[in-house]
Chains A and B, each alone.
Chain A
């Protein structure tokens, strides 16, 4: 019983640790003061109004959204295929392949940023969007591959076999059986892919230049040079958006369970 209490205490502590910064940001966003201070001095929606109507964040926001969506449109099918190959086809290179596709997770982002900068410069990719897209695909792929491998591992292979025996070609089986069964993993992968790409800052700093900003870049520069309360407002909006997206993913997963 004593252990149980300690575990509970630690749990509560962890939750506070994770949630406190978010709460501070959200509470600050309603502050009347012009600069980020805590505790707040009054209550207002003005900063939200400013963020939305003044348009300082509009273009970076849409840049980040476009980037996250296109990245996900690439990483989800590609990562799923990689994960399927690794989990269904036995080869002695399996472990090697898996480590290779997960490696961007463990390589320091700084190194990755420098490497990618040299690569895209040599390839002659001048435009910032395709540069970043390429980089984001590399960064996000491990999340998709890992999630999908876990999804495929938990799937009963005999269900796919049954489909083949009943006359469905392997490709038909993949789309008619494997994909529907992998739906929770696909949703989780898509969610991760969107969020990781949307949040990414360091690589964007390396690969882009004047005239192209992602939302994290704009926020980062504002933190350095313009510590206005509107920062808390835009940050809160990101938090709300992410939570909504997450809830949507969980809701869609839940529908799958018919038991």
Chain B
């Protein structure tokens, strides 16, 4: 059964369309990430689901019930904020108990439920503290406990990890996934960070300009981005303009000339016989070590090393290729031997023809 449905959601602020006829179904127990740059409408979409804003038109349905006209305090939806939004005048215990009290849960039950909820975020010893006495990560865990103690069907996350530092972000992200298994809620997670979306989402909806441009599992979105925007937004990419595309000698393979006269091959896509761009992920590219040319399987490109960045786990090499404006990026996993390239040195790289995407 589908849990949350957004039908033709449309939202205008004045004359500006922020969300444009958005349709989305979130399955029961799924974590769906809304990923996109700022201003793409993801936060507005979330706040419409929470009831903080009303769509100009369209409907929101939760478990076959129309939610659009329900007041936000009666929605049975949880919301975790970017800035935690804990009640600073209440203790951790009272913060978590707040929702239970509003829902008329009997006093005898409140203590146990609050403690169980705090235990699930490993903060049972902090119930007497005040929010200002906790670190950012602890505050967000209190916010999680405060939301989950009500056992909501749907939990919304509004960039909850953005205010935390990188290590904590990953740890808390994993914790949220584990909590989802424990509490079995359906989740909608808004973020502008693709790594977060990959880590947390069962599926990712990439948004741009008020609508979803691609919806799929993290793998699908990464491996087969539908357009250059998605390719660029998710992970690193080399996007090269095409000067001339030729159907060539075989039906399966198309011969393409890049600007600068470099010839490469791509697998023909019947739906796109006149592509304008090719995209290659930097990590699907290798440095050619020996002269073992296999032009049936690989594409080759030669240029000069512009820079090498060492990140510990990998090298990022920028290559200046004649006739191509942006540096061609190659990411190589860290090897036991060091890479020895000096600036301006000539380098040839190769990648599989099937790893070349066209747009």
A contact residues vs B (CB 8 Å cutoff): 156, 158-159, 161-170, 172-173, 176-177, 180-181, 183, 256-259
When the two chains form their complex, are residues B88 and A163 in contact, meaning their CB atoms are under 8 A apart? no
The 8 closest A-B pairs by CB, nearest first: A259-B132, A166-B99, A167-B102, A158-B85, A162-B85, A258-B130, A180-B89, A165-B79
**Interface bracket on B:** 20 to 34
Could you jot down 10 A-B contacts, CB within 8 Å? Answer: A159-B86, A161-B52, A161-B72, A162-B143, A164-B72, A165-B51, A166-B102, A181-B89, A256-B89, A258-B132
When the two chains form their complex, are residues B150 and A166 in contact, meaning their CB atoms are under 8 A apart? yes
Query: What residues on A are CB-neighbors of B103 within 8 Å?
Result: 167
Q: Whose C-beta in chain A lies nearest to the C-beta of B76?
A: A167
B81 an interface residue at 8 Å Cβ cutoff?
yes
* B338 CB, min distance to chain A CBs, angstroms: 49
* A137 to B228 CA separation, bound complex (whole angstroms): 64
Known contacts A164-B72, A258-B88, A158 near B150 by CB under 8 Å: no
When the two chains form their complex, are residues A165 and B78 in contact, meaning their CB atoms are under 8 A apart? yes
* A37 to B64 CA separation, bound complex (whole angstroms): 86
Query: What residues on B are CB-neighbors of A183 within 8 Å?
Result: 89
* B143 CB, min distance to chain A CBs, angstroms: 8
Query: For chain B residues 128-163, which have a beta carbon within 8 Å of chain A?
Result: 130, 132-133, 143, 146-147, 150
When the two chains form their complex, are residues A166 and B98 in contact, meaning their CB atoms are under 8 A apart? yes
When the two chains form their complex, are residues B79 and A162 in contact, meaning their CB atoms are under 8 A apart? yes
* A177 to B133 CA separation, bound complex (whole angstroms): 19
B307 an interface residue at 8 Å Cβ cutoff?
no
Query: What residues on A are CB-neighbors of B73 within 8 Å?
Result: 164-170, 173
Q: Whose C-beta in chain B lies nearest to the C-beta of A180?
A: B89
* A162 to B79 CA separation, bound complex (whole angstroms): 7
Q: How many A-B residue pairs have CB under 8 A?
A: 72
When the two chains form their complex, are residues A159 and B88 in contact, meaning their CB atoms are under 8 A apart? yes
B contact residues vs A (CB 8 Å cutoff): 50-52, 71-75, 77-79, 81-83, 85-89, 98-99, 102-103, 130, 132-133, 143, 146-147, 150
When the two chains form their complex, are residues B150 and A177 in contact, meaning their CB atoms are under 8 A apart? no
Query: What residues on A are CB-neighbors of B132 within 8 Å?
Result: 257-259
Q: Whose C-beta in chain A lies nearest to the C-beta of B90?
A: A180
Query: What residues on B are CB-neighbors of A156 within 8 Å?
Result: 83, 85
* A170 to B150 CA separation, bound complex (whole angstroms): 19
Output the residue of B74, B88, B147 with the most chain A CB within 10 A: B88
When the two chains form their complex, are residues B87 and A163 in contact, meaning their CB atoms are under 8 A apart? yes
* A176 to B88 CA separation, bound complex (whole angstroms): 12
Q: Whose C-beta in chain A lies nearest to the C-beta of B82?
A: A158
Query: What residues on A are CB-neighbors of B74 within 8 Å?
Result: 167
When the two chains form their complex, are residues A158 and B83 in contact, meaning their CB atoms are under 8 A apart? yes
* A130 to B67 CA separation, bound complex (whole angstroms): 50
When the two chains form their complex, are residues A258 and B133 in contact, meaning their CB atoms are under 8 A apart? yes
* A183 to B82 CA separation, bound complex (whole angstroms): 25
When the two chains form their complex, are residues B98 and A163 in contact, meaning their CB atoms are under 8 A apart? yes
Q: Whose C-beta in chain B lies nearest to the C-beta of A162?
A: B85
* A16 CB, min distance to chain B CBs, angstroms: 39
When the two chains form their complex, are residues A159 and B99 in contact, meaning their CB atoms are under 8 A apart? no
When the two chains form their complex, are residues A165 and B133 in contact, meaning their CB atoms are under 8 A apart? no
Query: What residues on A are CB-neighbors of B50 within 8 Å?
Result: 161, 165
* A70 to B163 CA separation, bound complex (whole angstroms): 46
Query: What residues on B are CB-neighbors of A162 within 8 Å?
Result: 79, 81, 85-87, 143, 146
Q: Whose C-beta in chain B lies nearest to the C-beta of A257?
A: B132
Query: What residues on B are CB-neighbors of A177 within 8 Å?
Result: 87
* B100 CB, min distance to chain A CBs, angstroms: 9
Q: Whose C-beta in chain A lies nearest to the C-beta of B129?
A: A258
When the two chains form their complex, are residues A168 and B87 in contact, meaning their CB atoms are under 8 A apart? no
Query: What residues on A are CB-neighbors of B150 within 8 Å?
Result: 166-167
* A161 to B84 CA separation, bound complex (whole angstroms): 11
Q: Whose C-beta in chain A lies nearest to the C-beta of B130?
A: A258
Query: What residues on A are CB-neighbors of B130 within 8 Å?
Result: 258-259
Query: What residues on B are CB-neighbors of A170 within 8 Å?
Result: 73
* A167 to B71 CA separation, bound complex (whole angstroms): 10
New A-B contacts (18) at CB < 8 Å, excluding given A167-B150, A173-B73? A158-B85, A159-B86, A161-B50, A161-B81, A162-B81, A162-B85, A163-B87, A165-B50, A166-B73, A166-B146, A166-B147, A167-B74, A167-B102, A167-B103, A176-B98, A177-B87, A181-B89, A258-B130
Q: Whose C-beta in chain B lies nearest to the C-beta of A167?
A: B102
Q: Whose C-beta in chain B lies nearest to the C-beta of A173?
A: B73
Q: Whose C-beta in chain A lies nearest to the C-beta of B98?
A: A166
When the two chains form their complex, are residues A181 and B88 in contact, meaning their CB atoms are under 8 A apart? yes
* B187 CB, min distance to chain A CBs, angstroms: 15
Q: Whose C-beta in chain B lies nearest to the C-beta of A168?
A: B102
Query: What residues on A are CB-neighbors of B86 within 8 Å?
Result: 159, 162
Q: Whose C-beta in chain A lies nearest to the C-beta of B103?
A: A167
Output the residue of A161, A162, A180 with the most chain B CB within 10 A: A162
When the two chains form their complex, are residues B81 and A158 in contact, meaning their CB atoms are under 8 A apart? yes
* A172 to B75 CA separation, bound complex (whole angstroms): 16
* A60 to B141 CA separation, bound complex (whole angstroms): 58
Q: Whose C-beta in chain B lies nearest to the C-beta of A157?
A: B85
* B321 CB, min distance to chain A CBs, angstroms: 48
* A158 to B160 CA separation, bound complex (whole angstroms): 13
Query: What residues on A are CB-neighbors of B102 within 8 Å?
Result: 166-168, 172
Query: What residues on B are CB-neighbors of A258 within 8 Å?
Result: 88-89, 130, 132-133
Query: What residues on B are CB-neighbors of A168 within 8 Å?
Result: 73, 98, 102
* A163 to B89 CA separation, bound complex (whole angstroms): 13
* A189 to B313 CA separation, bound complex (whole angstroms): 59
Q: Whose C-beta in chain A lies nearest to the C-beta of B104?
A: A167
Query: What residues on B are CB-neighbors of A172 within 8 Å?
Result: 102
* B18 CB, min distance to chain A CBs, angstroms: 16
Query: What residues on A are CB-neighbors of B143 within 8 Å?
Result: 162
